[in-house]
């Protein structure tokens, strides 16, 4: 499954769910507020900006936002909300593509670094973030914690959500550190719509090593955007990495 084929026109057109899910104010606003704080008056670069779920409200907060995005249909959806003058977007992958200028903040939200399916690509993503940052700049990653404790011995799949009309399950390849998320939507008919996305999961300690290889230091890690303590029971984390030196 190539990423360009996954994030196609059909997915882009149904990606935005205003007011609910990951677009719910209680989910989105803490993200935007924290990123605006971390930008500290400087410009921000979003890797995999998508339809602008975070980039658009962050720009509305007065932060100068630029994006890198692989999917043309996702950018077309973004353009219904913000023009090129408001949010410039460079087409390409987040591991190698360069955006013009330098930034005080690079961020990568909602587990998207796991869309890079090899460890080497994920390391290059950190290095690409470092290329774009001023001294003292920050790289912020939001990522889920692999839920292997819920995987029964000898089984390959776990159901992580079951709602009326929706089932979400993950199938694991623990040897290759891969997971495929299966999203099954159904109604009262016999038909169902299935959407699948492949990922390479990353443990927090591995993520920290990737950061060190790119010259970053871990500044903070919390369980959410509002600063809750990160514990062994946390299902996700927001990790803030910083380059040495003072902002220029």
* Structural domain boundaries in the chain: 3-145+202-242, 148-198
Residue 25 neighbours by CB distance under 10 Å: 11
| SS3 category, 185 | strand
Asked if 87 and 59 touch (Cβ cutoff 8 Å), the reply is yes
In the predicted model, is pLDDT for residue 1 greater than 50? no
Provide the Cα torsion 48, 53, 54, 59; round to 10°: 110
Query: What is the tens place of the pLDDT at every residue in 40-71?
Result: 999 999 999 999 999 999 999 999 999 999 99
CA–CA distance, 161 with 215 (Å, rounded to integer)? 37
CB count within 10 Å of CB 2 equals: 8
Task: Output the CA–CA distances (angstroms, integers) from residue 136 to 133, 205, 215, in the order listed.
Answer: 8, 22, 11
Q: What is the mean pLDDT of the chain?
A: 91
Superfamily of domain 3-145+202-242: Vaccinia Virus protein VP39 (3.40.50.150)
**Cross-strand partners of 239:** 141, 221
pLDDT for position 67: 98
CA 111/CA 143 separation, integer angstroms: 4
């Amino acid at each position: 499954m190539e990423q360009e084929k996954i994030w196609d026109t059909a997915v882009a057109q149904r990606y935005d769910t205003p007011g609910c899910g990951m677009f719910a104010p209680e989910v989105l606003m803490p993200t935007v507020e924290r990123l605006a704080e971390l930008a500290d008056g400087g410009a921000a670069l979003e890797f995999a900006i998508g339809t602008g779920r975070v980039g658009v409200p962050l720009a509305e907060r007065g932060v100068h936002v630029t994006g890198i995005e692989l999917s043309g249909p996702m950018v077309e959806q973004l353009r219904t909300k913000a023009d090129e003058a408001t949010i410039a977007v460079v087409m390409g992958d987040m591991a190698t593509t360069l955006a013009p200028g330098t930034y005080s903040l690079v961020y990568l939200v909602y587990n998207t670094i796991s869309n890079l399916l090899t460890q080497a690509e994920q390391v290059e993503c950190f290095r690409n973030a470092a290329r774009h940052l001023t001294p003292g700049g920050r790289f912020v990653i939001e990522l889920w914690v692999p839920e292997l404790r819920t995987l029964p011995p000898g089984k390959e799949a776990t159901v992580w959500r079951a709602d009326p009309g929706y089932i979400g399950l993950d199938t694991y390849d623990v040897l290759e550190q891969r997971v495929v998320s299966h999203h099954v939507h159904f109604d009262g008919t016999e038909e169902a719509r299935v959407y699948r996305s492949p990922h390479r999961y990353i443990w927090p300690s591995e993520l920290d090593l990737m950061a060190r290889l790119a010259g970053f230091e871990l500044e903070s890690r919390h369980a959410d955007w509002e600063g809750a303590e990160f514990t062994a029971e946390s299902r996700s984390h927001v990790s803030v990495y910083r380059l040495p030196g003072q902002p220029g």
